Chains A and B, each alone.
Chain A
Amino acid sequence: MALPAYAGKLETAWYYGFRFYCGLVFFFLITPILVIIPLSFNAQPYFSFTTEMLTLQPEGWSLRWYEDFLTSERWMQGIRNSFIIAIAASFLATSLGTLAALGLSRAYMPFRNAFMAMLISPMIVPLIISAAGMYFFYSDVGLAQTFPGVILAHTALGTPFVIIVVTATLMGFDQSLVRAAAISGANPKTTFFKVTMPLIAPGMISGALFAFITSLDEIVIVNFIAGAGQRTVPMRMFAGIREEISPTILAVATILVTISVILLTTLEMIRRRNERIRGIVPQ
């Protein structure tokens, strides 16, 4: 989309104006994420840049909020809980979601659209409604304020992502490979683990990462159904933002951004590998 040599004044102005506008939007998208990183190294308990920080004096900067975070039993418990819940929920969501996606991709699946609509609905229904419904239901069956309760709730939230990603992967999957395996004498289980799964693994991993980050970031439902023993990082952050904002939250936020960057890089690598395998090379 380079500017052609024959472009007139108006066209040149438009070309640069357009790019400038897009630059502003990118700036709007990324600044909020970048701005918290330096502030998390603030030596003062403020949410804004101090003169010492701006003049790059070493006294203005410190790791005290990270120390605060790492030595706080409450935050550490939150981290443990968040990871237990997110790992278990994404594992369950990926298993159930992949099975369902395999079924939904079959040519003979009856009521395909109705099933799909129901299975995607946890992503669409406003979280506050899901949370309220689950609150009563999980209390009635005795799962409220337990780990299994929170894990099951997050599994329900995570499956739509797995289904969407794995169904999309299965569209590019050559079904004749399954038939070939069957003709060669493999039973359905062997076929799945030896043929299908290695090929749709990128989709499954992406789906699992989506389910993982959904659970790790979820705040509305845990607020309703988690008890004191299941306090997660988002719950601590939510309480922290509402009550007294200390830069410890910014230190936690920076760590969470790092986790997102790692997950995004993993995802990007999977995507590039896929493109390479399918023969789409970046120009």
Chain B
Amino acid sequence: MAQSDNANPEVMTTSDGTPLKESLRRSMRRNRIKALLLVAPLGLFIFFSFVMPILTMMYRSITNPEIIDHLPRATAELRAWTPAESDLPPESFFRAISLDMLTADEEDRHIGRAGGQLNYEIPGARSMLGRTGRAVTSLDEPPDSWKDFILEQHRLWEDPATYQIMQRQMNPITAQYYLNALDFRYDAEGNIERQPEFQRIYVELYWRTLWVSALITGLTILLGFPVAYLLANLPMRISNLLMILVLLPFWTSLLVRTSSWIVILQSQGVLNDILVLLGVVADDNRPRMIYNMIGTVVGMTHILLPFMILPLYSVMKGIPPSYVRAARSLGANPVVAFFRVYLPQTVAGIGAGSILVFILSIGYYITPALIGGSSGQLISNFIAYHMQSSLNWSLAAALGGILLVAVLILYYFYNKLIGVDKMKLG
């Protein structure tokens, strides 16, 4: 009898005698593993080729290996010395640093890297180390006092602040780059102070980036909302045709759209020609509409507008027209019916579009780089500058780190409010 096969009649079992609960759990675990295995290839790929590279770059913004790696013996000596003992470090430090310089080639170290690093805080430190290095390596026999010999090579060796800054640079972890990215710096004593007036650029740049992104988001709402409304309420045959006017820019190369804005907005461009022809502006007084902030804002608004229209459209498509009709028949005038009944139903679409446009604009690089001139540059352009031209990679990483945190916070809210899987792409 089936009943007697069960040790405990209270527990339901499958045909092979395992309790149903256990069997269910096992099969669910199997299902979970199967699902995970499907995601695993891409998950691992994205983690190793995308997430990890970004994390390692962020790590670069807080590490400071140059002095430790390239002047190891001098580092050890300088760690043992405190500025309170004497103005300048003892002879042993100078012997150590000259040994570092003499053995740099065979140990595959580069004094220049240490010099470049120090140069950010002590202007002239690069040439100080370079000149001293050449003097030390060209010596035939060791001098009586390394200290006296090195002090003669460069005036900066006589400045006690040099050694204090070097000591701070020996710390493997530093907040220096994040301080620089926020227009602060360490003074010689290691206190945090604001950058001198003329060097404060980044805070203003972050504000400018936020402000421009907010402006572009606002403009895309102003331009996109009516169009999305029209598209959602026209008969499908016409709206499908008009939709092409939205989707074609969306699918057209960014560089194509940017170059066509140059064609339109430049001083000898199409728009200025038309304005001159209409007599609105004088031929010798054509307004400058590109290679400045106007160029950036116009170009980016054009590029990001479809990202506002598409989510708005898909939300508006789902709003039944009967609500507004009901409001009207209950006596609301069109304005009240719109603001009290229709608009609240589109909030999800406005939210989705706004966050998306805002996220994309605060990290925008290409359009400002090409048509922004010098006044239309955003934070991304300065990250690129430090990556490619000034080669201050750690500062680039710190500037990027702050930007990345801002984007991830917005992304988190986007995910919470709308869900990434609900994103619509045309």
Contact = CB atoms under 8 A, between A and B. Distances in A.
Contact of A97 (B40, B42, B57): B42
Contacts of B121: none
A29 interface: yes
Interface in A18-70: 18-19, 21-22, 25-26, 28-33, 35-36, 39, 46-49
A269 to B, nearest CB: 12
B269 A283 contact: no
Contacts of B36: 103, 109-110
A118 B407 contact: no
Interface in A97-132: 97, 99-100, 102-104, 106-110, 113, 115-122, 124-132
A117 B411 contact: yes
A128 B400 contact: yes
A264 B302 CA distance: 19
Given A124-B411, A161-B425, A237 B248 contact: no
Interface in B36-56: 36-43, 45-47, 49-56
B41 A33 contact: no
A220 B366 contact: yes
Q: Which of B46, B256, B393 has the most CB of A within 10 A?
A: B256
A260 B254 CA distance: 11
A250 interface: yes
A28 B224 CA distance: 11
A178 interface: no
Contacts of B421: 104, 116, 164, 167-168
Interface in A193-214: 210, 213
Interface in B205-221: none
B230 interface: yes
B245 A26 contact: yes
Contacts of A103: 34-40
Interface stretch (B77-85, B162-170, B234-242, B342-350): B234-242
B114 interface: no
B: interface residue count bin: 35 or more
Contacts of B256: 33, 36, 253, 256-257
Interface string B318-351: 0000000000000000100000000000000000
A96 to B, nearest CB: 4
B301 to A, nearest CB: 9
Contact of A116 (B53, B383, B420): B420
A237 B255 contact: yes
Contacts of A132: 57, 383, 387, 393, 396-397, 400
Interface in B1-59: 28, 31-32, 34-43, 45-47, 49-57
A217 B46 CA distance: 21
Contacts of A264: 244, 247-248, 251
Interface in A129-152: 129-138, 152
Given A110-B32, A124-B411, A224-B387, A237 B268 contact: no
A186 interface: no
Contacts, number: 277
Given A99-B41, A242-B370, A21 B259 contact: no
A18 B230 CA distance: 9
A159 interface: yes
A90 B178 CA distance: 37
A282 to B, nearest CB: 4
Nearest to B356: A124
Contacts of B252: 33, 256-257, 260
Interface of B: 28, 31-32, 34-43, 45-47, 49-57, 60, 223-224, 226-227, 230, 233-237, 240, 242, 244-249, 251-264, 266, 268-270, 273, 302, 305-306, 334, 359, 362-366, 370, 380, 383-384, 387, 393, 396-397, 400, 403-404, 407, 411, 415, 419-421, 423, 425-426
Given A30-B248, A129-B383, A129-B404, 6 more contacts: A32-B260, A99-B41, A118-B47, A122-B50, A210-B425, A253-B260
* A-B pairs, 9 with minimum CB distance: A126-B363, A103-B38, A137-B53, A133-B53, A103-B39, A108-B31, A133-B54, A100-B42, A32-B260
15 contacts: A32-B260, A35-B270, A49-B273, A106-B34, A108-B35, A109-B39, A118-B46, A120-B420, A128-B365, A128-B383, A133-B56, A159-B42, A167-B421, A268-B247, A282-B240
